Structure 1
Amino acid sequence: MTSTIRPSSVFLVSGGAKGITRECVIRIAQRHQCKFILLGRSAIVESEPDWAKDCFEESGLKKHIMEHLLSQGEKPTPMCVQKVFKKISSSREINNTLSRIKQAGGRAEYVSVDVTDALAVKEKVAPAVKRLGSITGVIHGAGNLADKLIEKKTEQDFETVYAAKVKGLENTLSYVDLNYLEYLVLFSSTAGFYGNIGQTDYAIANEILNKSAHLVKQKYPDCHVVAINWGPWESGMVSPELKKAFQERNIGIIPMEVGAQMLVNELDAANHTTAQVVVASPATPPARELDSKLRTYRIHRQLKLEDNPFFMDHVIAGYPVLPATCAMSWIINTCENLYPGYRLFSCTNFKVLKGIIFNEDLADEYILDLQEDSKNNDFNEITFSAKIWHKNLAKKNQYNFSGEFKLLREISPAPTYDFAKTPDGNKINENREVLIPNWEDNNFYQNGVGMLFHGLSFQGVKRFLTFGKERFTAECCWQGIEAKQQGQFPVQWFNPYAVDLSTHPLGIWLQHFYQESALPAQLDKYEQFARIPCNKDFYVSGKIKSKTDINLIVDFVIHDLEGKVFVRLFGSKFVRWFY
């Protein structure tokens, strides 16, 4: 069954008369001219006193409130004035919502009720349902905040936050027949997905909404169910102090009109198999002040094929082999996790000392040793020395990889690379792509030739724009793989799969000009200015620096079509591989 919103559709909306939920409801009304039952705790002032009418400035209205209180013989304390002001302004906001829905062609009724009170919900919603019709959709947008560090939270804080989300959902759903419900939209938060400082209760409540969406979707597959994990909006429950904190952490604020339209798009989507959607940039904890103490760390890791399915896409001479880029990612991700808010900028003198092969020599565990070499608050940078090693069969230390890594709080703007766009060195077709002999239809992975032994997790060379004896430019696209496939080596700021892919054009170059193959051995310097895109074309330009009978040294630049640099690799050394 495919559900569509009709003018006869009726949405029960908690928290729907004010804030961000209101903007979403109004946008739905503009799109579908349907009906709404809006639930909220605030009461509507049926008739404003004469002294408040036509007074819309906050200062002017508060002045009239004080005068009225004085005329009644009451003392106009700030608390009393604010209470009356909030009651009047809240009522006006609700009436404005109802008016805008009507102007959009929809119809709405407002019900003043606490969604955490099951009996009140049942009693007060019933008359509205009789007038508007049976409920076909639910939008649960109600919520409260009580942000405090966990050691300062009270039971009442937790109950206030938890109840609005969880009990509110339970009470709302208990009133509708899920067998006939067409839409269930839960306003969750990235706090439930990523976590957030001071919002333990809020994170718990929202994660329950996320899991509830999955459960309802499993049991009622025909219902369009989605928990939208919103990031912070321009309005809503984001205070100026919280907005500043978000800006310091590079978390984007969702504009009201953009977020409302995203909800409409989600409701209109024909394919609604996904029960949870995250609408935000990843939440990065604020970088803390660096102390002067230089620390050391030791991390132990077991490597198993069943935990890392992508290993089977990196098989050399019959054995799965850990890519050097994955060794880099283990080091980089560990460093970034130690210092949230900092990202890798460069890696120097990275060496492959002994590859990790899944054969009889595979160790029981591998060890990453990190040494902090320097920390500088003036430049917001940290440098590490790293080694990955294991105990060999003789119980002696055997080193596998080593290098130096620099993390920065702020990455410099990406430079521009001026690369050649004119094909050279071979025949070209009407699309101006180089046609390379021995690769039918430029299918570079068809026979696992030379360096291109890679399976789907790493594939992505599409075509060459230039292909000469000293340099080349290839168009690539990494399609991405599931998190389960990535195993212990997840894509974060550094993408080990796309970086490995970026060396594949060299394998094609080597096979074409010299009928040789090579494996990575050393890297003088790696620099990263931006993430390498996923499911989007990027370009790899290589320049041959030197070649001998033993090794080959190449510089790579990974960039977009305009030349914006994502990553640069200087002095990439490869050694001949005989197979």
Structure 2
Amino acid sequence: MVSVCEDLCPGYRFFAYDNYRLYKGVVFDGKQTEHLALDVEQIASSDADLTLQVKVWSTNQKGFRVNHYIADVILVKQVTVAPQLSGLDSDIMTNGEPSLETTAPYENGTLFHGPSFQSIQQVLDIDEKGLMLRCNAPTIAKDNQGQFGVSSTNPFVDDVLYQAMLVWVKINSNKGSLPSSAKRYEQYELIPQGADFYVSLNVVSDQPNAMSADITLHSKTGKVYGQMFGAEVTISDALNPLFLQNSVIKTSQDRSVSAE
């Protein structure tokens, strides 16, 4: 979505998106639709920025339109200087909470992501109000990045924003969850591949079937890389066996490759 918008608007670069919604994600299981369409409409402009509403959709076997993603992408001529996060606990960021058992979210059914999206290194702290994660931006060879790889955004890193929410929900309620929406995301600086960074999540609302949070990607010194506001996930017990099954399959495949 971002890549297409920047291609259409030379001289502008991505800064934020508003009103993101995930209607029906695209699962690449060999049965996915072969063609995805993308509609772009300019809905606002000024001397400094443009706002483009972007919709990703496809047509199902019955000929009906299926919406997948929608967001209002904001492009600017110059990105605002990154804010500084204050009040960070240096001891927690270095050592983590001593009483906290380290989880293995990519192996225990909490998350279902493959190696290219596995940024989380350690759960440093977690309580009913939020969590902090220590992460590392995966280094992905350009040939393995696909059609829309690392450019103005890094999809392999950005996904950890929602992963943090899935981890919080699983640890606090032992349920699975999936992303549904976000009010706004602002990106100030791209996190370099291979670099360490941190994720701080603050819970805004916690309900039996949904949870919303504000999430910040930042450095150890508090430099903000990106901030998501009003992100929401949908919670369901039914997701637990699906996530665990995928984790078991993925782990078996990884071990098979290693053995070869």
Q: How many residues align?
A: 237
Looking at structure 2, the residues matched to 346 and 528 of structure 1 have their Cα atoms a distance apart, in angstroms, of: 6
Task: Please give the TM-score of this superposition, normalised by the length of structure 1.
Answer: 0.39
Is the contact made by 1:460 and 1:501 (CA closer than 8 Å) also made in structure 2?
Answer: yes
**1:346 aligned onto 2:5:** no
Task: Please give the TM-score of this superposition, normalised by the length of structure 2.
Answer: 0.84
* 2:62 corresponds to: 394
* 2:258 corresponds to: none
Deviation readout 1:265-308 (Å, 9 max, x if unpaired): xxxxxxxxxxxxxxxxxxxxxxxxxxxxxxxxxxxxxxxxxxxx
State the 1:423 CA deviation: 6.5
Deviation readout 1:89-119 (Å, 9 max, x if unpaired): xxxxxxxxxxxxxxxxxxxxxxxxxxxxxxx
State the 1:366 CA deviation: 0.7
- Which structure's CA Rg is the greater one? 1
* Residue segments in structure 2 that go unaligned for 5+ positions in a row: 240-260
State the 1:499 CA deviation: 0.8
Looking at structure 2, the residues matched to 557 and 345 of structure 1 have their Cα atoms a distance apart, in angstroms, of: 15
- SS at structure 2 position matched to 1:344: strand
**1:549 aligned onto 2:208:** yes
Looking at structure 1, the residues matched to 125 and 91 of structure 2 have their Cα atoms a distance apart, in angstroms, of: 4
Looking at structure 2, the residues matched to 565 and 419 of structure 1 have their Cα atoms a distance apart, in angstroms, of: 13
Deviation readout 1:470-499 (Å, 9 max, x if unpaired): 022211101221112111121111111101
Pair 360,395 (structure 1): closer, same or farther in 2 beyond 3 Å? farther
Percent identity reads 26
For residue 81 of structure 2, the aligned residue among 410, 413, 438 is 413
**1:506 aligned onto 2:165:** yes
* 1:576 corresponds to: 235
Looking at structure 1, the residues matched to 68 and 9 of structure 2 have their Cα atoms a distance apart, in angstroms, of: 25
* 1:365 corresponds to: 35
* 1:382 corresponds to: 50
Is the contact made by 1:474 and 1:541 (CA closer than 8 Å) also made in structure 2?
Answer: yes
**1:560 aligned onto 2:228:** no
- SS at structure 1 position matched to 2:167: helix
Looking at structure 2, the residues matched to 396 and 444 of structure 1 have their Cα atoms a distance apart, in angstroms, of: 37
- SS at structure 1 position matched to 2:66: strand
For residue 434 of structure 1, the aligned residue among 77, 84, 97 is 97
Q: Could you tell which deviates more after superposition, 476-485 or 407-416?
A: 476-485
**1:530 aligned onto 2:189:** yes
Looking at structure 1, the residues matched to 72 and 156 of structure 2 have their Cα atoms a distance apart, in angstroms, of: 21
Q: Which amino acid in the other structure matches residue 497 of structure 1? A: F
Structure 1: 4+ residue segments shifted above 6 A: none
* Residue segments in structure 1 that go unaligned for 5+ positions in a row: 1-330
Is the contact made by 1:546 and 1:552 (CA closer than 8 Å) also made in structure 2?
Answer: yes
Deviation readout 1:494-552 (Å, 9 max, x if unpaired): 11110112332333322222111111000100111111232111111000111111111
Q: Which has the higher strand share?
A: 2
* 2:107 corresponds to: 446
Cα RMSD of the aligned pairs, angstroms, is: 2.0
Q: Which amino acid in the other structure matches residue 482 of structure 1? A: A
Q: Which has the higher helix share?
A: 1
Is the contact made by 2:26 and 2:32 (CA closer than 8 Å) also made in structure 1?
Answer: yes
Pair 343,572 (structure 1): closer, same or farther in 2 beyond 3 Å? same
For residue 356 of structure 1, the aligned residue among 2, 11, 26 is 26
